[in-house]
Structure formats: structure tokens, C-alpha cells
Amino acid sequence: MNVPGVVAQVAPVLVFLLAITVVAEVAQLAGVFDALGVLAARLGRGRVLFMWLWVVLVACAATVVLSLDTTAVLLTPVVLAAALRLGIAPLPFAMTTVWLANTASLLLPVSNLTNLLAVYHLDGGVRAYLALSWRPALAAIAVTVALLWWLHRRALRGTYAVPAHEPPPDRVLFRVAAAACAALGPAFALGAPPWAAATVAAVVLAGTLAVRQPRRLREVVVPWRMVVVLVAVFAVLQTALRFGLEDVLRSVAGAGAAPSDLLRLAGVGALAANGVNNLPAYLALEPAAAGEPVRLMALLIGVGVAPVVTLWASLATLLWRERCTRAGVRISARRFASHGVLLAVPATVAAVLVL
């Protein structure tokens, strides 16, 4: 792929990253996340397990409809705010959002930006994509939920005091922020470009904050450094591809559509995604799968389900870590990786085999 082609594919991803971060920042300042955290706690009716099951359901729905990056940015602060407020261990809820943000991102093209890049290679468009994706998506989600429960079953026991509803400090800002967040799902589902919908929401929320509480604009943190790093990674990747990396990757990824061939391709995608990042990994390996729908889905499984081992494997994980840090919840890279391996292998294998 030439440089203009890569820029055309990558630029909307980076714009989406910046815009959705602004949406999340303003929504957090407006109190939307705190209110949703209280709602989740009330739906759980005082049982930690029931509250967690609601979080699982919402995480899956948000990832499928809103995209994994939106789940990482918007849902993570909700569940962390609720857990910290209620005195519940935040780790199970933090891991639930980041794992399901990745493993539940296969079902629809909008669920993952790599899916949006891949769907254009399918003659049947969204219908052809769904015919391939629904079985792997359900398999990956089932493995994820089962492993989450097994790893955190002790922390998910017990009860908590159901909190009372508290009105937001600025009702106008709260309502605008809540409406903007709620509108993103239907906008994506109706086919609006993710970068465009997120940009409109960001402009509306930033403008409302500037009118209502102009001094708080300084509290909105935009991840410029992350964007610069990703641009550098894409540039290095493109250079490497032009100097022979593409031929090497084609050789390593193999060919064919037998189960062993698909597992090989997904495995290479998983290693590349966790080694660098899932977006450049997909772009690098796309030539080895384009034109063969089943191989394309196997690649999407590798770069979509498996990036749960390293903290830089997907944009969603990077965004999730930033949200956790802002909430005061820290998870070491070693612990994240050790648990991630336990999920990445069975979830990837199960998703590929049901193809």
C-alpha cells in the first residue's frame, strides 16, 4: 500500500481517538459517569455479582454498537466510579471493560476500527461480514466472561449499600453531555463515520463547557502524545513494508483456509498486535488475507480478540489505562500480561475453530 493510501486509512482513526477522548473528558466533568455508576449500583440491588453481570451486558452492547474505543473511554470511568464509591474491589470491573472491549469487538464492522478497514474487502458488505463474524464473536465473548468470573469469583461475592440518587451540579451541562453520549450509538449504527460523529459530539460538548464553565476547559486532557507515537509507528511500519517486510509477513502468515492455516494466520496477527499495535499489525498482514473472506476473519480474530497481553496492543487498551490512571486504579504491566495470556490463547483458538 502506498503512503497516501495508508494516510487515508489511518487519519480517521487518529481523529476519532482525539474526538472521543474530548467527549469522555467533558462527560466526566459533567457528572455523567458518576450518575451512570449510581444507576449500575441500583440495578445490582446490593449484590456485587449482579452488578458485575450488568456491567458485562453493557460492555458487550457498548462494544458491539459503539466500538471498543468508546467502551474503553466511556464505560471504564462509569464502573470504576461506582466500584470506588461503593467500596468494591475495582480490579474485576476494570478488567471486564478492557477485556470485553477487545474480545466483543468482532460482531459488527463498527465494533472495531480494524473491522471497518476489512469490510471493504468483502463483496457482500455488512451482510457478508456478519455471516462470518457472529460465531467467532459469540465464542470469544463466552470464553472471556467465563474466565473473568473464574479469576475474580472471590471478589465478586458480597453485598454493598445501594446509593441514593444525587442531582448533578450543572443540569444543563449534564443533560447535553448525556445526550451526546447517548447519540453516538445510534449514529454509529446508522452508518455515520465514527470520526465524524465523535468530532461533532466533541465540538458540542466543548462549546457547552466553554459557555457553562469556561475555567474547566483546562481540565480536558487531549492525548496528543499518544497520537504522535502512533503516527511514528505507522511511518516506521510503512517504511519496513516497502523494504521487504511485506514479503516476510506473507511467508510467515502462510496460505490456505484449513483450520491449521487459519490458526497460523490468527496467531501471527496476535503476536504482531501485542508486539506493536493491532492497527499497524492489521495493515501489515492485510495483503496476506485480502480476497479470501475466511482468512480475513481469521486475521481480524488475531488482531481483535488477542490484543489483551500488552498495554499498547490496541488503542482501546491505551485509552483504558489512561482512564484507570485518572481514577487512581493502577494495574502493573506484568499482571496485565499474565492474565491476558490466559485469555488470548483460548479465546483466539475458540473463535477461529468455529469459523
Instruction: Specify the pLDDT at position 2.
Output: 52
Q: How high is the pLDDT of residue 163?
A: 77
Give the integer Cα–Cα distance in Å for 199 and 184.
Answer: 10
pTM of the predicted protein model: 0.79
Domain that holds residue 141: 3-353
Residue 99: what pLDDT? 95
pLDDT digits 0-9 by tens, 11-54:
777 887 788 888 878 988 898 877 877 787 888 888 999 999 98
Beta-bridged to residue 159, according to DSSP, are 47
Burial-class residue 224 by CB neighbours within 10 Å (0-12, 13-18, 19+).
exposed
pLDDT of residue 6: 59
pLDDT number for residue 48 = 92
pLDDT tens digits, residue range 315-353? 889 889 888 888 888 888 899 999 999 999 999 999 999
What is the structure's pLDDT at 229? Answer: 74
Helix (H) or strand (E) holding 109: none
pLDDT at 1: 52
> What are the average pLDDT values for consecutive 10-residue runs of the chain, which has 355 residues?
60 80 85 78 87 89 79 83 85 94 88 81 79 93 96 91 80 93 78 82 94 90 77 74 72 80 92 86 83 90 93 86 85 91 96 93
pLDDT at res. 40:
76
Q: Under 8 Å CB-to-CB from 177, ≥6 apart: which residues? A: 26, 27, 30, 32, 205, 208
Quote the CA–CA distance of 244 and 241 in Å, as a whole number. Answer: 6
Question: Which pLDDT value is given to residue 9?
Answer: 63
SS (H, E, C) 98-144: HHHHHHCCCCCHHHCHHHHHHHCCCCCHHHHHHHHHHHHHHHHHHHH
pLDDT of residue 267: 93
What's the confidence (pLDDT) of residue 7?
A: 64
Helix and strand totals (H; E) in the chain: 17, 0
The number of folded domains in the chain is 1
Q: Rounded to a whole number, what is the distance in angstroms from the first to the last CA of the chain?
A: 28
Cell (9 digits) for 105: 469487538
The C-alpha atoms of residue 339 and residue 342 are separated, in whole angstroms, by: 5
